[in-house]
Structure 1
C-alpha cells in the first residue's frame, strides 16, 4: 500500500530531504514535476518545508545555509535511516568505522536526528521518530520508491550497515541485476547497493541515490527539462522498470522510475 500506516523498522529508509540554495525555486520545481504542495516553513523550524502528496508528507526541502560553524550543506537529496535510539545508533556508527558529521540533535517535538557518513564516504541521516515518523506515502507516482547506495567499496559498505543498523546485503539472483545487492531489514528489501556506476565521472564519491516512482518516466523527464532540470541518463528499460537519472534546476541528482508490476520481469 502506498500509505504508510506502521512505524518504520530500524534501518529502513524513512525520509528524504533536499538542501537547496534557492528553497522557493526547489519547491516550484518539484511541484511542477511531481505535483507536490509545500511552502517555506516558519522561522522556528529554520524555514524547513515538509512537502505533501495527496495530503501526506512525502519529502522535505530546506534552504542550504551555513549552520553555526558548519558550511552550507551540498545541494543533494539525503536519505534518512530509521532508528529507535539515535544516540545508540550514533555510537554504533563510530564503532563500525563511520563518521558522525552532524551530532545528535532534537528537532522540536518531531524527533531526533544526526547526519553521518559510512566508511566509503556516503552521507546519510538517522531519524528517531517522536511525533513525526517520516514519509506518509511511498511507492506511487511522485513518492519515494527506492533508495540506492552507490559505493566505491561494496564489502566495506555492507559490513558497516550490517554492524551499525542490522541491514543485510544480499546478492540479487535476477537476470539483468548481476552485481546488484538488495539491502534487507527483517528479510525485506528496503533498498539497494551497487558498485559505483562506470558512467559517473572519475572521483565521484559514494552516495545514496533517491528514486521517485512515476507513472511515465519519459513524460516526467520532459517535465524535468521544462522546469529547468537536466538529464544525466535518458530513459531506459531495466529489470525493475523504465528509469532515468536527472537533476533539478539547482543540480540535485535523483532517479525516476516507472516500476514494472510485481512479478513481471522476474
Structure 2
C-alpha cells in the first residue's frame, strides 16, 4: 500500500496525468489522417534525456512523423523541432558530447520552427541566471531564465493557464508545472504569451516558442498545434 508521501510524489502525479491524457485522447473523435494538423510534417524531438516519449506520442497523435534526434545529421530533413523538459545541464552536456550544440544553433537560427519546454526553454535562452557549473545555453532566444523557480517536485502542479494565440485570442490551456523555470527578462522582438502567479512562463519570437510548463503531460495540444502551424 502506498504511503501518502508516495502518492504525492511527482512520479505518481505525472503518471496519473499521463493516464488521464491517454484516456481523454482515446475518447476524442478520430480525424482522417490527412486532416490532422501534423499530416505530412516531420518533427524532431531531441532525444538525449528527458520527456521525449510524451512529446513523441502527442506529435504522432496530431499526425506528424516523429524523428528522435540523437545526431546532427538528423536535423537536415526536419520541418520542426522540440527540445523537451528534463535536466537542462545534463542535456547541455550531452549536446556537446554528441556534437549537436552548433548544429542546433545553426538550425534554429536559420528558421527551423522550434518549441522548448521547461529545460528546453532554458536551452534556448541567451542568459541563465543561475547556471549549474559549466552550463551553457544555445543563445537563440533573447530571454533570461531562472531555473527551478517554482520550487521542488513536491510543489509541482496541474494548472489551467491563459495562453495568447498568434491571432491575439486568449485561450485557456491545461498544463503541468514540474520544477519549472521562469523568464526574468525578454529582449526586443520577444512576445510574452503566458503568465503564472505573476511570472512569465511563455514566450514567442519568430520561429521559436519557449514555455516553462508541460502540455505534453496533460494532453493539451494547443502549443504543439501552434508549432505545427509555423511550418511553411
Structure holding more helix per residue: 2
TM-score normalised by length of structure 1: 0.30
TM-score normalised by length of structure 2: 0.33
Structure holding more strand per residue: 1
